[in-house]
Amino acid sequence: MSATASAPQIHNRVQQFIGTPRKMFINGKWVEAASGKTFPVYNPATGEVMARVAEGDREDINRAVKAARKAFESGPWPVMTASDRGRLIWQLGDLIEQHLEEFAQLESLDNGKPLSVARVADVPLAVDLFHYMAGWATKIEGNTIPFSPKYLAYTRREPIGVVGQIIPWNFPLLMAAWKLGPALATGCTVVLKPAEQTPLSALLLAELVAEAGIPDGVVNVVPGYGETAGAALASHNDVDKVAFTGSTEVGKLIVQAAAGNLKKVSLELGGKSPNIVFDDADMSKTISGAASAIFFNHGQCCCAGSRLYVEKSMFDNVVSGVVDEAKKIKVGPGFDAETDMGPLVSKEQLDRVTGYLQSGFSEGAEAVVGGRKKSGAGYFVEPTVMVKTNPNMKIMREEIFGPVVCAMPFSDVDKLIAEANQSEYGLAAAVWTRDISKAHRIAEKLRAGTVWINCYNVFDPAMPFGGYKQSGWGREMGHDVLELYTEVKAVCAAI
Ligand code: ADP
C-alpha cells in the first residue's frame, strides 16, 4: 500500500477549523484583531498556506491583559473553591481527550510531526498534564511558624496574578498545557501567545476552555508574532509574571522586557544535551535509544541528545547502529501513515539546520548518513549522523534544533564529564551503562536539569523539567512548578 493510499482522512471538524479564518480568544469571546489583520499559517509538508489567523498586536495584548486582570480580581475565579477549580482543570483534560484525533491532526498539519506521534505523545501528555495539575489545586498549602508564644505566624501561598505565557512551535498543544495547567491550579489568570508558526491547537484548546466552564477572562489566547504580540506581553506593566519557552536568544530579550515592572520570569530555553554511552551498556536498547534521543520530533526538542559521546571501544559499533536506525526512518509528510519523521516546521528552520550542516562540513566534520535537505517541496532534512567532530566546532556548541547528531569517542571519564559540561546549556543529559553505581555517580556530576539513565525523552507531569545555566530559570511540572506561579505571604499576628 502506498503512503498516500493509507493516509487518513482529515477530520471534518479539522477541515472546518482550518477552512475559516480563526479569531483570537479574549474575555471568553472570539474577536478579530484590533487592526483587523490576519497572518498565514503554513503547512510545512508543502510550504503552502493552509489557514489564516487573527494577528494580535499591542492593542490586543492590552485588551487581553485587562480581561485577565479583571478575572483575577473579581468575578467567579478568585472566590471559587480550590476543589471546583480542580474539577474545571480535570474537565479540560477530559475534553482534550475527547477531541484527541482533532488535536493530533491539527498538530500534524501545523507542525509537520507524524500524526501517529501526535496521537500517542503530544495529546495524551497534554491530557495527563491537566489531570495531574487538577490534583494540585486542592493541595497548595502554607505553614505555621511557631517562633514565639506571643505571635501567630503563618504563610499563605497566593496566586502570582496575571501571567503572560509565550510558547514555541515544537509541541504546540503540550507546551500550552505545561503553561496553563499550573497557572490554573494556583488560581492565576493567563494571556497565552502561541508561536506564529503553530497557533491552531491553542485556539482549539481555547474553545474547550470555554466548554469546560472556566470563567471568562481566566484564559485568553492572542496569536501573533514574537516581536510584536510577544514583546508587548513580556513588557506589559500590568502582567505579574511571564513564562517563556523558546530560544535562549529570545529568552534574554524576555528578561530585558520584563525589567520594566520587574515581573517574575521563568524560562525554559535551549539545550545541547550530552548523551553518554559506555561500552558496558545494553546495546540492544542503547542504539535505538541514542537514535530516538536525537531523531524524535525531528530533533526539534530543546532536550534532544545532540552530542553523542561513545566509549572508544564501542564507537564504531554505536555509530553504525545509529546510522542504521537513521536509514530506517521514513521521512515524509506527517499525515502519511508510514511517515516516521515529518518536515521541519518552517523554511527558516530548514535554512538554519542546513546552515549548520554546511558549517560542520566546512570545519571538517563528515556526515556518515544524511547531511542534506530532501529535494522537492516541503522543509524536509535527512536524519544525519556527524563524525570527525571536535568540541570547538559550531555544530558541537550551538543548538541545531534539527535531526543532526554529532558523535565523539571518549576514553577518560573525567575528561568526558568536563567536556559534557562544557556548554553554555544545561537542560538534559543521559548515561547508558549496566553499571548502576557509575550511572548515578555521573548523573550527580552532570550539570543538567534532567539526567536520564538507560532511557531518553521520558516525561511525566510529576517530574520537574528545566535547565541549569543558559537553559533557563525555574522548573516546570512536578510540585516545583507551583513555586513559579505563587507568591508566599508571611502573616504575623500578636496574640
Ligand atoms: P524559535 O527560534 O525556535 O522559533 P523563538 O524563541 O523565536 O523560537 O520563539 C518562541 C516564542 O517566542 C514564539 O511564540 C515567538 O513568537 C516568541 N518570540 C519571538 N521573539 C520574541 C520577542 N522579541 N518577544 C517576545 N516573544 C518573542
User: 250, 254, 398: which to mutate for ligand 1, most atoms within 8 A of CB?
Assistant: 250
The answer on 166 and 312 residing in a single domain is no
Q: 358 CA to middle of ligand 1, Å?
A: 25
Indicate the pTM of the whole model: 0.97
Order of all β-strands in the sheet with 428-432: 366-369, 384-387, 404-410, 307-311, 274-277, 428-432, 450-453
The answer on 93 and 133 residing in a single domain is yes
- Interval 199-250: pLDDT, tens: 999 999 999 999 999 999 999 999 999 999 999 999 999 999 999 999 999 9
The answer on 399 and 252 residing in a single domain is no
Q: 250 CA to middle of ligand 1, Å?
A: 6
Q: 43 CA to middle of ligand 1, Å?
A: 19
Nearest protein Cα to ligand 1, atom 23? 227
By C-alpha distance, which of 200, 180, 192 is closest to 88? 180
Q: 404 CA to middle of ligand 1, Å?
A: 22
Report how far residue 331's alpha carbon sits from residue 205's, in angstroms, rounded to the nearest whole number.
29
The answer on 188 and 63 residing in a single domain is yes
CA torsion through residues 328, 333, 338, 340, sign: positive
Nearest protein Cα to ligand 1, atom 21? 226
Helix orientation angle between 100-111 and 12-19, rounded to the nearest 10 degrees = 50
Q: Which domain holds residue 34?
A: 4-269+472-491
Q: Quote the pLDDT of residue 8.
A: 74
Report how far residue 222's alpha carbon sits from residue 60's, in angstroms, rounded to the nearest whole number.
7
Q: Quote the pLDDT of residue 6.
A: 54
The answer on 363 and 452 residing in a single domain is yes
CA torsion through residues 208, 210, 213, 219, sign: positive
Ligand 1 atom having least distance to the Cα of 194: 14
For residue 174, the number of C-alpha atoms closer than 13 Å in the C-beta half-sphere is 23
- Interval 271-283: pLDDT, tens: 999 999 999 999 9
Q: Tell me the CATH number at 390.
A: 3.40.309.10
> Which residue type, as a one-letter code, is found at position 160?
I
The answer on 365 and 227 residing in a single domain is no
Structural domain includes residue 467: no
Q: 187 CA to middle of ligand 1, Å?
A: 26
The answer on 69 and 212 residing in a single domain is yes
Asked if pLDDT for residue 136 goes beyond 70, the answer is yes
Q: Quote the pLDDT of residue 9.
A: 86
Nearest protein Cα to ligand 1, atom 16? 226
The answer on 381 and 307 residing in a single domain is yes
**Backbone dihedral angles phi then psi of residue 406, each to the nearest 5 degrees:** -105, 120
Per DSSP, what are the bridge partners of residue 54?
A: 38
The answer on 434 and 297 residing in a single domain is yes
Nearest protein Cα to ligand 1, atom 20? 226
Structural domain includes residue 307: yes
The answer on 313 and 203 residing in a single domain is no
Quick one: pLDDT band at residue 2, thresholds 50, 70, 90?
very low
Report how far residue 299's alpha carbon sits from residue 292's, in angstroms, rounded to the nearest whole number.
9
* Ligand 1-lining residues (CB < 6 angstroms): 166-168, 193, 195-196, 225-227, 230-231, 234, 246-247, 250, 253-254
Q: Tell me the CATH number at 486.
A: 3.40.605.10
For residue 309, the number of C-alpha atoms closer than 13 Å in the C-beta half-sphere is 26
Ligand 1 atom having least distance to the Cα of 257: 24
Q: Quote the pLDDT of residue 3.
A: 41
User: 166, 249, 351: which to mutate for ligand 1, most atoms within 8 A of CB?
Assistant: 166
Report how far residue 79's alpha carbon sits from residue 183's, in angstroms, rounded to the nearest whole number.
16
> Catalytic site residues?
268, 302
